[in-house]
Amino acid sequence: MTTQERPTSVVPAWLRAMRPRQWVKNVLVLAPVFPAGEQVGLDTLTGVGVAFVLFCLVSSSVYLVNDAKDVEADRAHPRKRFRPIAAGELSARTAVVLAVVLVLAGLAVGFWWQPMLGVVLAVYFAIQLAYCFGLKHEPVLELACVASGFLLRMLAGGTAGDIPLSGWFLLTTAFGSLFMAAGKRYGEARRGELTGEPVRRVVQKYTTTYLRFVWTLAATVVVTTYALWAVEVLVAQTGTSLATLTIVPFVLAVLRYAVDVDKGHAEEPEDIALHDRVLLALAGLWVGSLLLAVWL
């Protein structure tokens, strides 16, 4: 195994410990906006923007707690040892204090802005805290915890923006989240097999065959529920069959992402989302076709 050098950064340790790169996941709060059509106004966009910021605060508090708790294990990991807390750049006590400040601020503003938004944020924090303190070692349950985070992000966007959400759309999000979560575990398992690097205890309890089954099942349900949403809900809402065209770039994007999952490269979904140009182009086509169907 090659020795890795500590990467240099001008970003303060406390900010890096909040994992701002992970905030790209919180863009999912915008998902309910695209199919909302004429319901979208300044109040809606403001509410969704608030939900995005609050999810960044609360999710970062979870990352801080997790890294403070796992500091010793991270120090023994070839890559995680460079995290600010494990590297000794930020004390665990300071990280916990910062986490408390972030979650209290996030929940306070959430309940003040809209009580149900506060409830969604609180549920998210409770599930992720349970994940940090035990559920992350339980197969299947830990996948459900990770997937729930994505679903709750979308619920937060719909709640804060006062946008009604379709059951089919919720199912698409839920199983899409499971698809990405299983893909992450599959990527870590493959990396462990190929490099001999240690992997998390829960990943050792899975086989790559089982994880392949999970993400294949999830991808199948995602495509099915999205197609049903587009045909049954979006067509009725827009009054045009153009809505069915959104299925094409959506399915192609799922298949493109599955290429990275199959290669074991989906351990960091945000990296794929930011660097896979073809996937970005397909996502752009999907958003464009969706806006065209909604606003035409």
What is the tens place of the pLDDT at every residue in 165-201? 888 888 998 999 899 889 889 888 888 777 777 778 8
Whether the predicted pLDDT of 235 surpasses 50: yes
For the CA atoms of 85, 87, 89, 92, what is the dihedral angle to 10 degrees?
30
Provide the residue ranges of all domains of the chain, joining segments of one domain with +.
13-28+41-136, 166-296
How many C-beta neighbours within 10 Å does residue 293 have?
A: 24
What is the tens place of the pLDDT at every residue in 248-289? 999 999 999 888 888 877 777 767 766 788 888 998 899 888
Distance (Å, whole) CA 94 – CA 97: 5
Task: Name the nearest CA neighbour of 203 among 219, 218, 190.
Answer: 190
pLDDT for residue 91: 87
CA angle 124, 32, 247 (to 5 degrees): 120
pLDDT for residue 36: 61
Distance (Å, whole) CA 40 – CA 290: 14
Task: Name the nearest CA neighbour of 62 among 10, 111, 22.
Answer: 22
Give the dihedral sign, CA 204/209/211/214. negative
Distance (Å, whole) CA 197 – CA 42: 49
pTM of the model: 0.82
Distance (Å, whole) CA 117 – CA 163: 12
Q: DSSP secondary-structure letter at 155?
A: H
* Average of per-residue pLDDT across 82-105: 88
Distance (Å, whole) CA 128 – CA 67: 13
Task: Say which residue the tokens 């890096």 belong to.
Answer: 16
Q: How many residues are recorded in the chain? A: 296
What is the tens place of the pLDDT at every residue in 103-124? 999 999 999 999 999 999 999 9
What is the tens place of the pLDDT at every residue in 14-56? 888 888 888 888 888 887 776 665 666 778 788 889 999 999 9
Q: DSSP secondary-structure letter at 233?
A: I
Tell me which amino acid residue 146 is: V
For the CA atoms of 165, 169, 173, 175, what is the dihedral angle to 10 degrees?
140
